[in-house]
């Protein structure tokens, strides 16, 4: 059962454009993690959001946690080719981690 829905599944844009990807659930998250996975590698944690309404920034990446803690978004400003990869959201369900199906992002030079 997929508890987390990510959209869009695929996104291809030009360098310099802005984009937003979404992660939604019908359940309340205790917290939410965002990972990035590059080709041939395992996922690597970008950020964890914990509090409803929380906003975290990581250089050009802005992560928001919804007030009701049922949704989250990742916004990238002025995308660069190095941002290309698979972006995964994940919700802890101790001792497990439940993943969304991912957004595959391609930034074209």
Partner 1 sequence: NAGVTQTPKFQVLKTGQSMTLQCAQDMNHNSMYWYRQDPGMGLRLIYYSASEGTTDKGEVPNGYNVSRLNKREFSLRLESAAPSQTSVYFCASSERGQPQHFGDGTRLSIL
Does the footprint of partner 1 cover residue 29 (CB under 8 A)? no
Could you tell me which of 80, 83, 67 has the C-alpha nearest to residue 34? 83
Q: What is the DSSP letter of 68?
A: T
> Segment contacting partner 1 (CB under 8 A): 21-29, 41-49, 59-67, 70-78?
41-49
* Cβ proximity of 55 and 104 under 8 Å: no
> Segment contacting partner 1 (CB under 8 A): 13-21, 39-47, 53-61, 71-79?
39-47
| Side-chain half-sphere CA neighbours of 100 within 13 A | 30
Among 69, 100, 105, 107, binds partner 1 (CB under 8 A): 100
Does the footprint of partner 1 cover residue 44 (CB under 8 A)? yes
User: How far apart are CB 78 and partner 1 at their closest, in Å?
Assistant: 27
- Name the residue nearer to partner 1 (CB basis): 23 or 79: 23
Could you tell me which of 31, 60, 36 has the C-alpha nearest to residue 46? 36
Could you tell me which of 78, 58, 75 has the C-alpha nearest to residue 14? 78
User: Residue numbers of the site for partner 1 (CB under 8 A)?
Assistant: 1-2, 6, 9, 33, 40-45, 48, 88, 92, 94-97, 99-102
């Amino acid at each position: 059962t997929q508890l987390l829905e990510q959209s869009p599944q695929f996104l291809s844009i030009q360098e310099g454009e802005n984009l937003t990807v979404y992660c939604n659930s019908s359940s309340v998250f205790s917290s939410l993690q965002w990972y990035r996975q590059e080709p041939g590698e395992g996922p690597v944690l970008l950020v964890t959001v914990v509090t409803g309404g929380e906003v975290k920034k990581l250089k050009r990446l802005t992560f928001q946690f919804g007030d009701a803690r049922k949704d989250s978004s990742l916004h990238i400003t002025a995308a660069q080719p190095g941002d290309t990869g698979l972006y995964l959201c994940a919700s802890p369900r101790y001792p497990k981690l439940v993943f969304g199906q991912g957004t595959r992002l391609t930034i074209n030079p």
